[in-house]
Amino acid sequence: MKKISIIAAVVLAAIMTSCGNGTPKANMKSDVDSLCYAIGMAQSQGLKDYLVMRMGVDTTYLNEFIKGLNDGANAGDDKKQQAYYAGLQIGQQVSTQMIEGLQHEIYGEDSTQHVSQSNFMAGFVAGTLEDTTYMTMEAANEYAQTNMKAIKARQMQAQYGGNKKAGEEFMAEIAKKEGIKQIEESGVYYEVLTEGNGQIPADTSFVKVKYEGTLIDGTVFDGNMDQEKPMTFRCNQVIPGWTMALTHMPAGSKWKVYIPQEMAYGEREAGDKIKPFSTLVFVIDLVSVGK
């Protein structure tokens, strides 16, 4: 144990000297010293991955992290320093998580639009200091809840309104086609490709299905028609348009189903190909009802 400790100490000292980051050198003269070193190393397991994946640290600057790590550890019970380092840590989280999350929530993938970090920080600081000059915490929560959806919807309309219009025009033409039927007043249309005579599932029924999904321009975005085994799921676990179709289909049927955006994903994006307000077309083969 002593020999291993001496070798480890020499190697560590050489590494830290070359880095020039002022990290304390290991000096394991006793079993307690070695225990402290071992526990310190054990506690760092997975830290590098956490820094990269969760905190966005570039490993090129890992020495800077070590410097900050030492500064933080050496602050001890210095309350002023503790507060400062806590501010640095939370400030990084604000930048890399809160601001980026808000940016994506409002503007999605539109990189030409940006939320105001300065206004966010002004509100963040005001809340921390309990400054009610502009609004109370209760008013802030209410305003955020009331306006987020409206602002996001307005942004989505500006960015993807063309999808909505194209879908409406497409569905208007589909409604005129011979053999097309509407399911109740849902706005979901279908045409029968194969007429089945089996059980019609309830919305809580499990079904086995093969399908292919396309956009109105014919782009295929999903499907399992070429697979041997059908997919099994409950009818109410899918988008509303699918639930509507399945609960009107006799088992053994194959329908071509036209689903307007409000019965599909609406203003949400689904995968790489389904953009907000997309009307979708599915060929659905209801193989059987039940698990």
Tokens representing 287?
A: 């193989």
Cα-to-chain-centroid distance, residue 230: 28
pTM, to two decimals: 0.61
Q: Are 3 and 9 in contact (CB under 8 A)?
A: no
Joined together, the tokens standing for residue 15 give 């590494």
pLDDT of residue 277: 94
All CATH 3.10.50.40 domain ranges of the chain, comma separated, are 172-289
Its CATH architecture, for the domain 172-289, is Roll (3.10)
Q: What is the pLDDT of residues 31-85, one digit of tens each?
A: 777 777 777 778 888 888 888 888 788 889 888 888 888 888 887 788 888 888 8
| Average pLDDT value for residue range 75-99 | 85
- What are the pLDDT digits (tens) for 215-253? 999 999 999 999 999 999 999 999 999 999 999 999 999
- Cβ burial, residue 136 (10 Å; 0-12/13-18/19+): exposed
pLDDT tens, position by position, 262-288: 999 998 889 889 999 999 999 999 999
Q: Identify which of 164, 145, 147 has the alpha carbon closest to the alpha carbon of residue 156.
A: 164
